[in-house]
Structure 1
Amino acid sequence: MTALAVTRATVERALHDRTALFFMVLLPVAIIVVIGVTVSGFDQFRVGLVTARQAGPVAQELTADLAAAPGLRTHAYDSAADARTALRRAELDAVVVVPSGLDANVRAGRSVTIPVLVEPSGSAGHSAVSSVAAVVADHAARLQAARFATDETGGDFAANLTLAHAAEQGASPISVRTETVNGDSDYLPLGYSYSTPTMLVLFVFINALGGGAAIVQTRRTGVYTRALAAPVSPRTLVAGEAAAYLLLALLQSLLIVGIGALAFDVAWGDPLAAGILVLVWAVVGTGAGVLAGALFSTPEQVHAVGPAFGIALGMLGGCMWPLALVPDWLRTAGHATPQAWAVDAWTTLLSRDGGLRSILGELGVLSAFAVALLALASLALRHRLTGSRPA
């Protein structure tokens, strides 16, 4: 029996285990969706829109422009009283009240004021006013163009407004592009770009720990003992199991990366740096999984302790929330785990547009974790296989 035969047998057994496949594929994707949806929209202002039931086309177009603005997340209300209540409950950052006589005043050439309601102590509300004002200003520019055409050349105001809108769509106005140079953001991008890499870090490690139960079961059933009775060395068995766990960790990582890119439009940053980071993290998970299989005495112990321990490390290491939000002492404690260094590396790649050179420090620490875990796992498993006590 060679190490490759051990690897093949372990991988085939894992791929035929429906429970293992559930934790490897379905559960991570489900949590990615839930967390991605939850944190999406945090970079948008919550704005309530109050428009008269019999609003004219100008008011309707303004409402549509506000709803389509990328920086606003709008919700329509039937009355200003309902919107004010939601504002007081902190369900909204601001409320836009579209005047009922907007169309008549615009057609008559009179000035119109758009009320925007905010809470006095709400900083987000005052920031939302700027975003609302930008949308209103764009809308007002079209109205002024239509008003000017009507005054100078005559014709119908609605027709001129349609022409102004068409001219705006066909023009190529000057746009402003914001680019952060040498950015130092400590947060992953919101939405699926936050949940996908953090769940990759979390679940590759947890599944590797849980997979240690298979090694324990193999020990208890005497398979290793019978293999050692043949001309097979303990080193061969250890190498075969480690290779199998590495292949499974890489398979799960590639599935999460592929699903994130294709289904959730996640940009993984520099391909070379991301690929090396995925590989190193898979090696970290491999060491943890083989070590769990060597240390625990029963599969039930692995299933009870392994996932809970993996989740605890994930929470401490920033997989559930950014470490930039926690106190300094907790951030320092979090970096005693490999998860924190992996999340830091993904933050550099996805939020700071970093490359391989930018994450060399994190990769070095993760490589040290991987070497230490693999060395301990190898020694512990060889001791189990050759020790005087029964496995």
Structure 2
Amino acid sequence: MTALAVTRATVLRALRDRTALFFMVLLPAAIIVVIGVTVSGVDKFRIGVVPAAQAGLAASELTAGLQDAPGLRTRTYATETDASTALRRAELDAVVLVPSGLDEAVRAGRSVAVRVLVEPSGSAGHAAVSSVSAIVADHAARLQAALFAARETAGDFDESLALARGAERAASPIAVRTETVNGQSDYLPLGYSYSTPTMLVLFVFINALAGGAAIVQTRRTGVYARALAAPVSARALVFGETIAYLLLALLQSLLIVGIGALAFGVDWGDPLAAGVLIAVWALVGTGTGVLAGALFRTPEQVNAIGPALGIGLGMLGGCMWPLALVPDWLSTAGHATPHAWAVDAWTTLLSRDGDLPAILRHLIVLTVFATALLTLASFALRRRLTTGRAT
């Protein structure tokens, strides 16, 4: 009962701390939004579209096709000058100029060229031309079918184009299906599915580490010394604080999971595997926080060193960028931190449709980290409390 009383007091104190609640709830949510929006669509080409000055049906449909293409992020410009300026500023990968005489040329059976502007040194621009060319070719095939139908039936071109468009939507005779054979992604999915798991790993660790300041403050104010003067054992105090920090880590994890799933539609993969991973990572954070509370001498030391240490380990462990992008030696160094193993486990769950057996190796490594940290934390805090050096 004494250990549970310590747990209850610690949890209530943390929940009443507005600063702690800010770092536990609001800051992770804000960073999830920022990073999620930033990395969303990085796999799409940025295309500027200048519509035809006198746009008929064919020109309008080409413009709409470019704007609706799933592989492009398009922005419409009124003039070629504005679009070219944006291209020179590297705001765009390419600019598509829809010709004004497109409808007249098509009705007359003449060929017309669609100009695409790219920067000479922009590799993304030249790759974007392929995507634009595919969309233009698809539109040209539709126009050719409509022109043929109009000539054969002596009908109206606009009506024939509408029929060709309707037939294409009803049933496409040929479709392309892409399959990756034995493929495994080394990256988390882009968007919020990238930022939310990495922020869970980062902030659970940082908040647990920074929370060690509360243990230091409790030591300095003599609360532990007074508790030990009563019939309360040091083991009960250590156990109560450990359970409290574990509950806080789990609470923050559930909040981030809930925010990601409800607000941003993040799919956390296999529920059992995700739950076990979250629990093991909470144990890692708990061990870190209690150990910090036992080793540091002042709360100011924890507040100054803790966040910097947490961010540094998070960067090294792949919370800011995929370790698949860094040199091998840096990736190896990153896996000396528990963060890298946690991020790898989330990558397996979210990018490879993994389950509990698929992340078993990661869980074993994280369990070793958690066991080592919890053992050291328990020993260090008990030593602080029983050797007369509680402050």
TM bin (shorter chain): over 0.9
> Secondary structure at the residue paired with 1:378?
helix
Does the Cα contact within 8 Å between 2:323 and 2:331 map onto a contact in 1?
Answer: yes
Deviation at 1:122, TM superposition (A): 3.3
- 1:174-227 per-residue CA deviation (whole Å, 9 max, x = no partner) reads 543434343232221211111111111100000001111111122222222222
Deviation at 1:35, TM superposition (A): 0.8
Does the Cα contact within 8 Å between 2:219 and 2:390 map onto a contact in 1?
Answer: no
- 1:251-309 per-residue CA deviation (whole Å, 9 max, x = no partner) reads 11111111111211212122221111111110000000111111112222211111111
CA distance, structure 2, for counterparts of residue 234 and residue 53 of structure 1: 81
Partner residue in 1 for 2:320: 320
CA distance, structure 2, for counterparts of residue 172 and residue 63 of structure 1: 21
Q: What letter matches 1:245 in structure 2?
A: Y
CA distance, structure 2, for counterparts of residue 303 and residue 259 of structure 1: 26
Q: What letter matches 2:378 in structure 1?
A: S
> Secondary structure at the residue paired with 2:46?
strand
Residue-pair matches, total: 391
Q: TM-score, normalised by structure 1?
A: 0.95
Partner residue in 2 for 1:310: 310
CA distance, structure 2, for counterparts of residue 291 and residue 6 of structure 1: 17
CA distance, structure 2, for counterparts of residue 52 and residue 63 of structure 1: 9
Of stretches 124-133 and 309-318 in structure 1, the one that deviates more from structure 2 is: 124-133
Is residue 354 of structure 2 the alignment partner of residue 354 of structure 1? yes
Partner residue in 1 for 2:333: 333
Deviation at 1:30, TM superposition (A): 0.2
Deviation at 1:173, TM superposition (A): 5.3
Q: How big is the alpha-carbon RMSD for the aligned residues of Structure 1 and Structure 2?
A: 1.8
Q: What letter matches 1:337 in structure 2?
A: T
Does the Cα contact within 8 Å between 1:48 and 1:92 map onto a contact in 2?
Answer: yes
Does the Cα contact within 8 Å between 2:212 and 2:290 map onto a contact in 1?
Answer: yes
Does the Cα contact within 8 Å between 1:182 and 1:352 map onto a contact in 2?
Answer: no
CA distance, structure 1, for counterparts of residue 107 and residue 194 of structure 2: 48
Is residue 151 of structure 2 the alignment partner of residue 129 of structure 1? no
Partner residue in 2 for 1:205: 205
Which 5+ residue runs of structure 1 have no aligned equivalent? none
Q: What letter matches 1:230 in structure 2?
A: A
Q: TM-score, normalised by structure 2?
A: 0.95
CA distance, structure 1, for counterparts of residue 218 and residue 85 of structure 2: 63
Of stretches 112-121 and 19-28 in structure 1, the one that deviates more from structure 2 is: 112-121
- 1:120-159 per-residue CA deviation (whole Å, 9 max, x = no partner) reads 4433223212211222222223222321221122232112
CA distance, structure 1, for counterparts of residue 315 and residue 336 of structure 2: 12
Of stretches 306-315 and 350-359 in structure 1, the one that deviates more from structure 2 is: 350-359
Partner residue in 2 for 1:296: 296
Q: What letter matches 2:297 in structure 1?
A: S
Partner residue in 2 for 1:15: 15
CA distance, structure 1, for counterparts of residue 182 and residue 278 of structure 2: 24
> Secondary structure at the residue paired with 2:320?
coil
CA distance, structure 2, for counterparts of residue 366 and residue 214 of structure 1: 25
Mark the CA change 1:11 to 1:165 in structure 2 (over 3 Å): closer, same or farther: same
Does the Cα contact within 8 Å between 2:35 and 2:195 map onto a contact in 1?
Answer: yes
Residues 142-157 of structure 1 correspond to what in structure 2 (within 5 A)? 142-157=142-157
Which 5+ residue runs of structure 2 have no aligned equivalent? none
Is residue 205 of structure 2 the alignment partner of residue 184 of structure 1? no
CA distance, structure 2, for counterparts of residue 17 and residue 73 of structure 1: 43
Partner residue in 1 for 2:344: 344
Partner residue in 1 for 2:118: 118
Does the Cα contact within 8 Å between 2:52 and 2:97 map onto a contact in 1?
Answer: no
Partner residue in 1 for 2:365: 365
CA distance, structure 1, for counterparts of residue 7 and residue 174 of structure 2: 59
Partner residue in 1 for 2:268: 268
Q: What letter matches 2:158 in structure 1?
A: A
Does the Cα contact within 8 Å between 1:48 and 1:96 map onto a contact in 2?
Answer: yes
CA distance, structure 1, for counterparts of residue 12 and residue 389 of structure 2: 29
Deviation at 1:172, TM superposition (A): 5.6
Of stretches 118-127 and 9-18 in structure 1, the one that deviates more from structure 2 is: 118-127
> Secondary structure at the residue paired with 1:43?
coil
Mark the CA change 1:51 to 1:285 in structure 2 (over 3 Å): closer, same or farther: same
Does the Cα contact within 8 Å between 2:206 and 2:306 map onto a contact in 1?
Answer: yes
CA distance, structure 1, for counterparts of residue 389 and residue 110 of structure 2: 94
The runs of 4+ residues in structure 1 deviating greater than 6 Å are: none
Partner residue in 2 for 1:379: 379
Does the Cα contact within 8 Å between 1:192 and 1:264 map onto a contact in 2?
Answer: yes
Deviation at 1:328, TM superposition (A): 2.2
CA distance, structure 2, for counterparts of residue 179 and residue 188 of structure 1: 19
Partner residue in 2 for 1:57: 57
> Secondary structure at the residue paired with 1:96?
strand
CA distance, structure 2, for counterparts of residue 270 and residue 390 of structure 1: 44
